[in-house]
Amino acid sequence: MACGTARFPWNWALAECNRQVDAGLKPNAASLKKAFTAVKYQEFPWLADIHRDAHAEPINHLGGAWAKFFKDCKEGKPAHAPVVQKKGKCRESFYVANDKFKVNGHASMLPLVGRVKMGEGLRFRGKVIGATVSRSAHRWFVAIQGEIPER
């Protein structure tokens, strides 16, 4: 469910971005995120059932996609504007920040999912920053991001 939730804010922000550009405005990821946050629980109450990271991070990714598009245009490279994400046609994933994600040995704790067994424990000692949960070939994977101190 969080993957569909991650797809929804991307598509909402893309439509809002297109609307603002048509009105002569210059939207950015921060303003889109603020606008979405202001209306998300009133207009889309089902989002309250999903942790906030799953519907906050996609708007940041959309901002990065627009930045890459404009950079490629400026440099004369082939450029592709961000498009609507459709179920089954895009990478299904969502981000979980470190305050909502825990790793304990060979298991991780995901919000609303609970304990998930990992194939192997962490190979580093350091601070867990977050994780990206993704689906590939009908299997789920957790990519853990960490900060490792220098030796």
Query: Is 86 inside a domain boundary?
Result: no
pLDDT at 88: 66
User: What pLDDT is attached to residue 120?
Assistant: 78
The 10 Å Cβ neighbour count of residue 6 is: 25
Report if residue 20 sits inside a domain: yes
Are residue 96 and residue 126 in the same domain, yes or no?
yes
Q: What pLDDT, on a 0 to 100 scale, did the predictor assign at position 112?
A: 66
Q: How many domains does the chain have?
A: 2
Stronger pLDDT, 80 or 3, i.e. the higher one: 80
Look up the pTM and report it. Answer: 0.66
Q: How far apart are CA 79 and CA 77, in angstroms?
A: 6
Q: Is residue 118 part of a domain?
A: yes
Strand partners, 116: 108
Check residue 150 and give its pLDDT: 79
Confidence check: pLDDT of 55 > 60: yes
Q: Supply φ then ψ for residue 107, to 5 degrees.
A: -145, 155
Residues 70 and 98 in one domain: no
Is residue 84 included in any domain, yes or no? Answer: no
- What's the pLDDT score for residue 141? 79
Q: Whose structure tokens read 């900060």?
A: 147
Q: Does position 64 have pLDDT exceeding 60, yes or no? A: yes
Q: Are residues 55 and 96 in the same domain?
A: no
Distance CA(141)–CA(134), nearest Å, equals 5
Which domain, by its residues, includes 24? 2-75
Tens-digit pLDDT profile for residues 11-52: 898 998 888 878 887 778 888 888 888 888 888 888 887 767
Same domain, 31 and 69: yes
Asked if 61 and 111 sit in the same domain, the reply is no
Mean pLDDT over 41-65 rounds to: 80
Residue 112 lies in a domain: yes
For the segment 94-136, what is each residue's pLDDT rounded down to a tens digit?
Answer: 777 777 777 877 888 777 667 777 877 777 777 888 888 777 7
Instruction: Say if residue 55 is in the same domain as residue 7.
Output: yes
pLDDT at 74 over 60: yes
Regarding whether 43 and 104 lie in a shared domain, the answer is no
Query: Does residue 100 form part of some domain?
Result: yes
How would you write the chain as a 3-class SS string? Answer: CHHHHHHHHHHHHHHHHHHHHHCCCCCCHHHHHHHHHHHHHHHCHHHHHCCCHHHHHHHHHHHHHHHHHHHHHHHCCCCCCCCCCCCCCCCEEEEEECCCCEEECCEEEECCCEEEECCCCCCCCCEEEEEEEEEECCEEEEEEEEECCCC
